[in-house]
Amino acid sequence: MSNIKAYQSSFIYQIINKDLEKKNMLIRTRFSPDPNGYLHIGHAKSICLNFNIAKDYNGHCNLRFDDTNPLQENAMFIKKIKQDIEWLGFKWDGCIHYASDYFDQLYEYALELISKNLAYVDELSPEKISEYRGGLTKVGRNSPYRTRSIEENLLLFKKMRDGKFFENQVCLRAKIDMNSPFIVMRDPVLYRIKFIKHYKTGNKWCIYPMYDFAHSISDAIEGITHSLCTLEFQDNRRLYEWILNHITINCRPYQYEFSRLNLEYNITSKRKLKKLVMKKYVDGWDDPRMPTISGMRRRGYTSFSIRQFCQRLGITKKDNNIEISSLESCVRNDLNHCALRVMAVLEPVKVIIENMTEKEQMLTILNHPNKPDMGTRQVLFSKMIYIDRADFREKAEKEYKRLTLNQKVRLRNAYVIQAIKVERDVKGIITAIFCRYDPETLNKNPNNGHKIKNVIHWVSCSNALPAEIRLYNHLFTVSNPTADINFLSTINPESLIIKNGFVESSLALAKSGQVYQFEREGYFCVDFYCAVSKKLVFNRTIKLRDSKTKF
């Protein structure tokens, strides 16, 4: 078995183990997304669970697209979902399945329910259906069309199939119990009319099954043994079972629910994520601020860190808001081992080393201070360098440990320098800092034995590369934006801050998606669209330490 420490004691594994004690069976799970948007971190939890169970029990995991709503689905979303699953490190068994593959069979099962007097064609409008359904404290009431004969319902349903009605004029409903304490069981809609071309079946159909109807039967057709979904579908399990109990089908899968992944400062509702995209609060589904898998990948998150995060969470029935630091810890730990170290200056100010006689010097620097096997790189050191503006103050302060006029500091992987004077522009802004360096201090302390602990980073003015550096922060200012009805009002105005700085010349050939540690700054990923924008762009993946900031 694979590493299932976070799963092996969960209730779902216990259920499977008991099922296997009763009879020998091939465990088959499925991941069944709607192709109406990108996958998000919540989907990653479900992906890890379903694919890991199949692997751990030598079973199979299907990939099925529940494409029953042509209004919102398209082939582009399917392509991205497949890419995300493979990037996470998983592969589905056999061919890809689609609910639309079963439209003919689903239609026949609907006819079977009508023939058993368990479904009827209703002419109530959607608004009236909702009104008749009642509420949590009010029982429903029967539709006046509920008592139609089987023959009339069969005829009307075939007319629906042939496009003889307008959209919303009629629908097919299950005949269950309008007095049920579970609203989902109050004669739910099974089929509705949509005169929309389906991306896969074209114009063959003008009636489309509802998710609950298609989902349960698709599971049975594919031989799924354990249908795993999140807790919001708990009540729907009753409809899932009712449908399978009243049709003629060989396989009998069972549904089990687990808690969804709610992550601090994020939203894992596809509907709300879509609103962010459509209203242009973000730059698309793969915006690095989005909790989509594509967005996290573009930001520099690794597939390993996401899998580790999901496994650490385990599987429970308790909904809670997971601290963002849990995810960040997984990402930080992984990148700490694999990210090359480089230097970058986000807010540059020029430093002139007055006593440096030679114009330039080439330094050999380790790519990772604790991993010599990751090699070295050549970095130019010159008379004029850039440092970060935040790394200099004219007057020393008690807690300030960087460059001042009265305090020495070490340049990372280079020499000890001391500031002498500054130069300002007409507005009083410092434009240059004049320093002296100790040529005997290359990677060692001064001869006087005074140990220099304070270190700042730098890049050479003569060959540093200009770069756009995007500092991403939490997209929302509150830890639980889903608790706010108007969640858009909690968007962080500083979720993206752009700096125009400089990076080492060694990054001239940096590839899209490559993550580096900018020393003393954080982990940064080369943006996927650098080739399109024709400029060097880095997205901040994560800070070096958990700053505990709220946004």
State the pLDDT at residue 322.
94
State the pLDDT at residue 2.
42
State the pLDDT at residue 483.
81
210: which strand partners? none
* Type of residue numbered 204: K
State the pLDDT at residue 551.
35
d(CA 335, CA 517): 8
Cα–Cα nearest to 247, from 174, 170, 158, 337: 174
Radius of gyration from C-alpha coordinates of the chain: 30
Distance of CA 133 to the CA centre of its chain: 36
Q: What is the 3-state secondary structure (H, E, C) of 31-84?
A: ECCCCCCCCEHHHHHHHHHHHHHHHHCCCEEEEEECCCCCCCCCHHHHHHHHHH
Q: Angle 167-168-170 (CA atoms, 0-180°, nearest 5)?
A: 100
pTM over 0.75: yes
* Type of residue numbered 514: Q
Helices assigned H by DSSP within 223-261: 236-245
Tell me if 86 sits within 8 A of 44, measured CB to CB. Answer: no
Beta-carbon contacts of 381 under 8 Å, excluding residues fewer than 6 positions away, are 360, 361, 362, 363, 411, 414, 415, 460
Domains in the chain: ranges and CATH? 11-263 (3.40.50.620), 270-338+467-543 (1.10.1160.10), 341-463 (2.40.240.10)
d(CA 118, CA 332): 55
Tell me if 514 sits within 8 A of 525, measured CB to CB. Answer: yes
254: which strand partners? 226
State the pLDDT at residue 3.
43
State the pLDDT at residue 550.
40
State the pLDDT at residue 533.
73
State the pLDDT at residue 5.
57
* pLDDT tens for each residue of the chain, 551 residues long: 344 555 667 899 999 999 999 999 999 999 999 999 999 999 999 999 999 999 999 999 999 999 999 999 999 999 999 999 999 999 999 999 999 999 999 999 999 999 999 999 999 999 999 999 999 999 999 999 999 999 999 999 999 999 999 999 999 999 999 999 999 999 999 999 999 999 999 999 999 999 999 999 999 999 999 999 999 999 999 999 999 999 999 999 999 999 999 999 999 999 999 999 999 999 999 999 999 999 999 999 999 999 999 999 889 998 888 999 999 999 999 999 999 999 999 999 999 999 998 889 999 999 999 999 999 999 999 999 999 999 999 987 877 889 999 888 999 999 999 999 999 999 999 999 999 999 999 988 887 667 888 899 999 999 999 999 999 999 999 999 988 778 999 999 999 999 999 999 999 989 999 999 999 999 999 999 887 778 899 999 999 987 554 43
d(CA 516, CA 213): 48
State the pLDDT at residue 7.
63
- Using CB atoms within 10 A of its CB, is residue 261 exposed (0-12), middle (13-18) or buried (19+)? buried
